[in-house]
Amino acid sequence: MQKSQLCPKFEKAMSILSKRWTGLVIYQLLSGPQRFCTIESAIGISGRLLSDRLKHLEEEGIVKREVYPETPIRIEYSLTEKGLALQPLMKELEIWSQNWVTSEDTL
């Protein structure tokens, strides 16, 4: 068996971004800090799965979780500098999808 010739950093990046819903979570957060329920309803993901994705992105340093000591407690998620660096990639992917993905492909 031949060992992969891809750069390990590229493989890691693809591993992070290829998890289901991860790209949509990042894309949603490009518009600014948001609460959990806002992200959940905007992309139609289950709460359990969203929680898992946000924790993973936080561990990777892509998402920041900020707790505001108010009553009731408010928690917002936002992209870190590392996460915001994905913006050009996400915008290019958006343009590519508009040009190449047909409505039949979305069903």
Nearest to 26 by CA among 94, 86, 93: 86
Domain boundaries, the chain: 22-99
Instruction: Supply the pLDDT for residue 1.
Output: 45
Instruction: Supply the pLDDT for residue 73.
Output: 92
- Per residue in 31-72, pLDDT tens? 999 999 999 999 999 999 999 999 999 999 999 999 999 998
Q: Is the dihedral of CA 98, 63, 69, 45 positive or negative?
A: positive
Q: Assess whether pLDDT exceeds 70 at residue 107.
A: no
| Least confident segment among 21-35, 63-77, 92-106 | 92-106
CATH T-level fold of 22-99: Arc Repressor Mutant, subunit A (1.10.10)
Going by pLDDT thresholds of 50, 70 and 90, the confidence category of residue 75 is: very high
Q: What's the pTM?
A: 0.88
The contacts of residue 54 (CB under 8 Å, 6+ apart) are 25, 36, 39, 63, 65, 77
Q: Assess whether pLDDT exceeds 60 at residue 80.
A: yes
- Per residue in 81-98, pLDDT tens? 999 999 999 999 999 999
